[in-house]
Amino acid sequence: MAAAPGWEPGVRSLASTYLAPRVPELCCGVPAGRAVVYLMVFVIVALVLLLVLLSMVWPPDSAWSPWWRTSRRVARIQCRLAGVSSTDVVYDLGCGDGGALVVAAREFGASGVGVEIDPLRATVARARAALGGVSDRIRIRRANFFDVDLTPATVVVMYLVPPALKRLRRKIQSELRPGTRVVTYVYQIDLPLLASDERERVYVYEVQ
């Protein structure tokens, strides 16, 4: 049924008042709603890329340092140089994704404890230990290494920046038994040096 001619202008004005704002406007040829979604995705991707870039220059003892890790090849060199064997209990302070510990357990028969403050990396380390079939010999603790008792360790491995190594030195000397080997990668710690591979920047010390 057609509306009476006198009603038409009123209906049009009602439509323009209530319906027009709901019709998506165009923004650069894209409906406004979709443009907002594109913008949000762009901002999120840009933020993630920024974090990844920052993480590459962040100090390696920071929870924002995912790309500073020990390769399997270097982990083998560390174990060989420190004489890691099945009788050893290896503590990796700031174990990251647990890769170095998995090498010590799988290839050298050691047992070990990984201490990692970052929950995501601690979870990844547990998963790697399980996938590597060594979760019965490796325990990953999500904790601050300054709060962890180091007395059971026979070998301590660290890939940390000098300020962290300097602070840990006191703890190492007071908690570790004489003869315990301490392995650092890239940076050095002020302890009696036992062996080193200068080219690979692997240093092994012995607690006196």
Ligand X SMILES: C[S@@+](CC[C@H](N)C(=O)[O-])C[C@H]1O[C@@H](n2cnc3c(N)ncnc32)[C@H](O)[C@@H]1O
Check binding of 121 to ligand X (CB under 6 A). yes
If binding is defined by CB under 6 A, does position 117 make contact with ligand X? yes
Distance of closest approach, residue 141 Cβ to ligand X, in angstroms: 9
Six-digit token pair at 53? 């870039």
Range 129-135 contact pairs with CB under 8 angstroms and sequence separation of 24 or more: 129/98, 129/101, 129/102, 129/105, 132/102, 132/105, 132/106, 133/106, 134/102, 134/105, 134/106
Contacts of 175 (CB under 8 A, 6+ apart): 149, 150, 151
Tally of CB atoms within 10 A around 207:
18
126 binds ligand X (CB under 6 A): no
Q: How far is the CB of 158 from ligand X (least distance, A)?
A: 7
Pick between residue 108 and residue 159 the one whose CB is nearest to ligand X.
159
| Closer by beta carbon to ligand X, 113 or else 191 | 113
H or E element in which residue 141 lies: strand 138-142
Contact flag: residue 61 with ligand X (CB under 6 A): yes
Q: Is 189 in the site for ligand X (CB under 6 A)?
A: no
- Among the listed ranges 16-24, 44-52, 113-121, 187-195, the one in contact with ligand X (CB under 6 A) is 113-121
- Give backbone dihedrals phi and psi of 150, rounded to 5 degrees, phi first: -100, 0
Residue 77 touching ligand X (CB under 6 A): no
Provide, rounded to whole angstroms, the least separation between the CB of residue 82 and ligand X.
Answer: 14
132 lies in the binding site for ligand X (CB under 6 A): no
Amino acid making up residue 156: V
Give the torsion through C-alpha atoms of 110, 115, 120, 124, to 10 deg: 0
Stretch that binds ligand X, among 33-41, 80-88, 128-136, 142-150 (CB under 6 A): 142-150
Contacts with ligand X by CB under 6 A lie at 60-61, 63, 65, 68-70, 92, 94-96, 99-100, 115-118, 121, 144-146, 159-160
